[in-house]
Amino acid sequence: MKLTIKEIEERIHRLKEEKNELDAFIDELQSDERSGVKKIILRHEKALESARLLKVHYEQMMVFEKEWTSKGKHVIAGVDEVGRGPLAGPVIAAAAILKPGTYIPGLNDSKKLSESRREELFEEIMKNAVSIGIGLVTAHEIDEINIYQASKKAMVKAVGALKEQPDHLLIDAMELPLAVTQSKIIKGDAKSVSIAAASIIAKVTRDRYMKKLHRNHPQYQFNKNMGYGTKEHLEALERFGPVEEHRRSFSPVQQGSLL
């Protein structure tokens, strides 16, 4: 007696973690002429191809880690920052050392991911990290030393916050004044799994910070714009002026404070 479509789907779900048994079951289904079964097989094949492409992409993003491991570097940290452009809030950097052999499907530049996907990957990264370091530089400090120097300072702080000190750094488009070998990689958050991991940690950490800030200053909608100069944010600046978390060295904030 043939299994129903629902029973087939349930069995496939149960066998997800048993690759050999799942493959054998799919092979058995090939002779089933029902259109519903053919759709299940097609969906399964598409899922396999998607998983294969994710693996290929991940391997491509391991090129820098493999290069430096072959040179004798075994504690490699990716470093990235977020928050250069906003009118309010801190710049936050993260440093991430992933466990050897880690595979996190879908790991990519945080800007290319949805908020929900970033949150999911954040948890996976935290579970698969040897160490994570966070560095924060406030809006006041940004005004004092400029955003470029503040970004660099946040990165240095993030590396310093790691529990295990790295012997090589992979950094997104920056060189740091640290006594450790390092690679400056342009658009590194899309080319290195370690930098991508740091990018996601930094982005989620900063977004959570801005959502908390929203509770004290709801008129600026920091929970939606994360401090960036959206139309609503600029209108609120004109109406209410800046708060302590605004970067007064940034032109739109200066204009709002003069009204």
- The one-letter amino acid at 88: A
- Tokens 């994360």 belong to 226
Q: Which residues contact 100 (CB under 8 A, 6 or more apart)?
A: 74
Mapped onto helix, strand or coil, the DSSP state of residue 168 is strand
Q: Is 81 annotated as a binding residue?
A: yes
Question: What gap in Å lies between CA 56 and CA 49, rounded to an integer?
Answer: 10
Q: Is 49 annotated as a binding residue?
A: no
Check if the beta carbon of residue 81 is closer than 8 Å to that of residue 159.
no
Chain centroid to Cα 223, Å, comes to: 18
Helix 63-70 vs helix 193-216: crossing angle, to nearest 10: 120
Check if the beta carbon of residue 209 is closer than 8 Å to that of residue 90.
yes
Q: Is 207 annotated as a binding residue?
A: no
- The one-letter amino acid at 24: A
- Tokens 């491991």 belong to 69
Q: How far is CA 223 from CA 21, 99, 211, 215, 246, in A?
A: 46, 33, 4, 9, 15
Binding-site entries for a divalent metal cation:
80-81, 172
Binding-site entries:
80-81, 172
